[in-house]
Amino acid sequence: MVVGIMGAMPEEIEPILARLQGVQKHEIADNIYYTALYGSLDLVVAYSKIGKVFSALTAATMVEKFGVRKLLFSGVAGAINPELHIGDLIAATKLCQHDLDITAFGHPYGYVPEGKVFVEASPRLLEMAHEAAVKTGVKLRHGVIATGDQFVADEKRKRWIGETFGADALEMEGGAVAVVCDAMKVPFFILRAISDAADMDAGFDFDAFLESSSKKSADFIFAMLDVIDQAQ
Ligand code: ADE
């Protein structure tokens, strides 16, 4: 089975590539896709570049050009829920786009006609994540992740996103990957390790913790790959 692993930034996929052997490079649509074998799985790994458009392009390319049948996202996020601290892992149960706004036409935030405010992650992959967490003794939290084309470094904006969508964490790609996978009927899983609290220190914290939190997320992705491989 072909499994896709995406990040948004090089730092998010480097700890994944570092653990693979016989990696091959493919260039498609201005991006590089890395393929390798992991157990019985064919992996496709790429960083999309930041934001909803690039991440949607990468997710769609993984499905269309590489035949990806499960898509895992590994990366970092800003915490909204005060119980989430730097380095904590959160798996999205559902995702939304906090910057999608046609409320002028009477629609709720995050909604456009023929779309939905929340897209749910694959229950089966969430189950497998739980199994991976139990096996490794790693604490994995679950929650709502809000996505938007904004780096949030503002308490007020963060609070609004939390209150409007019931979101626990925010980032810039997961909601777009969710829309693509939902439309293409590909089970997906969005994992994030907290790098900052989306507050006035967020820029500083993000730079300080991007590498260590990316590594935590990547390590968990390998635990999940082992569970997926064994279920084959
Ligand atoms: N990813 C990690 N931290 C973030 C933040 N504060 N805003 C948006 N995306 C993020």
- Burial pattern 120-146, b for ≥16 Cβ within 10 A else e, equals ebbeebbebbebbbeebeeebebbbbb
SS3 call for 64: helix
Q: At what angle do helices 174-183 and 52-66 cross, to 10 degrees?
A: 40
User: What range does the domain containing 193 cover?
Assistant: 2-231
Place of tokens 């590539």: 17
Of all protein residues, whose CA lies closest to atom 3 belonging to ligand 1? 78
Q: What is the CATH number of the domain that holds 97?
A: 3.40.50.1580
Phi–psi pair at 101, nearest 5 degrees: -140, 100
User: What is the structure's pLDDT at 165?
Assistant: 98
Q: What are phi and psi of 143, to 5 degrees?
A: 180, 180
How many domains is the chain partitioned into structurally? 1
196 part of the active site: yes
**29 φ/ψ sector (left φ>0, alpha ψ -120 to 50, else beta):** left
Q: pLDDT tens for residues 74-95? A: 999 999 999 999 999 999 999 9
What integer pLDDT is reported at residue 97 of this predicted model?
98
The number of the ligand 1 atom at minimal distance from the alpha carbon of 196 is: 3
**12 in active site:** yes
User: How remote is the CA of residue 100 from the centroid of ligand 1, in Å?
Assistant: 17
**Judging by DSSP bridges, how do beta strands 89-97 and 140-147 pair with one another?**
parallel
Tokens standing for 94? 């559902």
Q: Which amino acid makes up residue 44?
A: V
pLDDT digits (tens, 9 = 90+) for 125-173: 999 999 999 999 999 999 999 999 999 999 999 999 999 999 999 999 9
Our mutation pick for probing the ligand 1 site, out of 171, 194, 199, 204, counting the most ligand atoms within 8 A of Cβ, is 171
Entry pTM? 0.98
Mean pLDDT, all residues of the chain = 98
Burial class (CB in 10 A: 0-12, 13-18, 19+), 151: middle
